[in-house]
Structure 1
Amino acid sequence: MIAVIDYGMGNLRSVEKALATLGAEVVVSGDPELVKRAAGVVLPGVGAFGDAMDHLQQLGLDAAIRDVAAAGTPLLGICLGMQLLFSSSEEHGLHQGLNLIPGQVKQFQGDFKIPHIGWNDLTLHRESLLLQGVENGDYVYWVHSLFVEPADRSVVLATTGYYGEVPGIVGRGNVWGIQFHPEKSSRVGLQLLSNFVKLVREGATA
């Protein structure tokens, strides 16, 4: 069973539907105990980093997510959910994250369109089971105003170019993050989610 975490911020139903279409047993829940019992966990998210962390803490889900990661359970963060995996964010002040992947979340700075919205291609940087069936140059759909800057660049699995190199997929042990929206990214997005479902079934790591 894959638990999609419900903490009041996120496009839960589209993620749930995409996973169910791929044959996964999916439960949307904000119950920390159910989350800890799941075979795989997805942390979605849309909105502000600080608000999201407040909601997770109020529900006891921050501790549950850390327990899931420590137990070796496959964990996937999507969009804001990926950013929450990192140590901190500078969005509207400094906020502490889950610190499962060391690094910071930073705001785009420059005279260009923010947020970054639309289809951009991926550049793959290293092999991962999460990337099976995904190729260099594949296009995916992005909507974000911030980007992650990992302390260790080896966690970056794929990037895109948007006035600089932007991490799009990260992986560290049993924890992965996807900055773009796989549920809106057609074949490539479904391939990534299908790979995660397979990782859950096999208990594999990055």
Structure 2
Amino acid sequence: MAPGVAVLDYGSGNLRSAVRALERAGADVTLTSDFDTALGADGLVVPGVGAYAACMQGLRSVRGEWVIGRRLAGGRPVLGICVGMQILFETGIEHGVTTPGCGEWPGTVERIEADIVPHMGWNTVDVADGSTLFDGIDDERFYFVHSYGVRRWELEEPNPAMPARVTWTSYAGDRFVAAVENGPLSATQFHPEKSGDAGAALLRNWVTSLS
């Protein structure tokens, strides 16, 4: 039986492409804003495009931060994509405005230090050792489109049984987080649903891990 994946609909946009990509990856996908449906799925995907503050406002409107926290407390998988990764961190700063995030990881989302933003296009990544998401695709390119990112990884890791595997990338001389795998919580700054065969393989790896 295919794993059941809920894609959280909180008004962020770009949802249908994520749904189709996850279906192609072998999941039984439900697009939902319902708390109980999102809580009960085998896997939850939190997409996100646009401004950090707007995404947090939309997330809170459907109690998304609560469902993420409840799932993680029970060891149930969550995958964040693009701004859906960024809102998992403690704080976002855009245009001088500081917005609290979900706080699942410490750290700040801030403007990339580059003369030209957004960072838009295909880029390689420096894959963390032992990665499950990037199994078999560690030399591939992935599609990014963003102006903000996490430039410092700040999580202290007292639990060696659940290490954080952090994958990095660089643009115009700046270095920032491209993906994280930390127990049941995973996230990518790039868009796997727009990353061709490599992105499809990454989503298959995540969907397979739900079984």
TM-score, normalization: structure 2?
A: 0.90
Indicate whether 1:155 and 2:158 are aligned: no
Indicate whether 1:172 and 2:174 are aligned: no
- The percentage of counterpart residues that share the same residue type is 37
Task: Tell me how far 1:109 sits from its aligned partner.
Answer: 3.0
Q: Is the Cα–Cα contact under 8 Å of residues 127 and 157 in structure 1 kept in the other structure?
A: no
Match of 1:101 in 2: 105
Task: Tell me how far 1:150 sits from its aligned partner.
Answer: 2.4
CA distance in 1, matches of 2:5, 2:187: 16
Match of 2:142 in 1: 140
CA distance in 2, matches of 1:58, 1:184: 27
Match of 1:67 in 2: 70
Structure 1 stretches of 5 or more lacking a match?
Answer: 202-206
| Structure 1 residues 195-206: aligned runs within 5 Å | 195-201=205-211
SS of 1:15's equivalent in the other structure is helix
Structure 2 stretches of 5 or more lacking a match?
Answer: 157-162
Task: Tell me how far 1:156 sits from its aligned partner.
Answer: 4.7
Q: Is the Cα–Cα contact under 8 Å of residues 22 and 194 in structure 1 kept in the other structure?
A: yes
Give the length in aligned residue pairs: 199
| Structure 1 residues 1-206: aligned runs within 5 Å | 1-92=4-95, 93-110=97-114, 112-136=115-139, 138-148=140-150, 149-152=152-155, 155-162=164-171, 163-201=173-211
CA distance in 2, matches of 1:10, 1:104: 23
Q: Is the Cα–Cα contact under 8 Å of residues 52 and 92 in structure 2 kept in the other structure?
A: yes
Match of 2:160 in 1: none
Match of 2:159 in 1: none
TM-score, normalization: structure 1?
A: 0.92
Answer 1 or 2: which has greater helix percent.
1
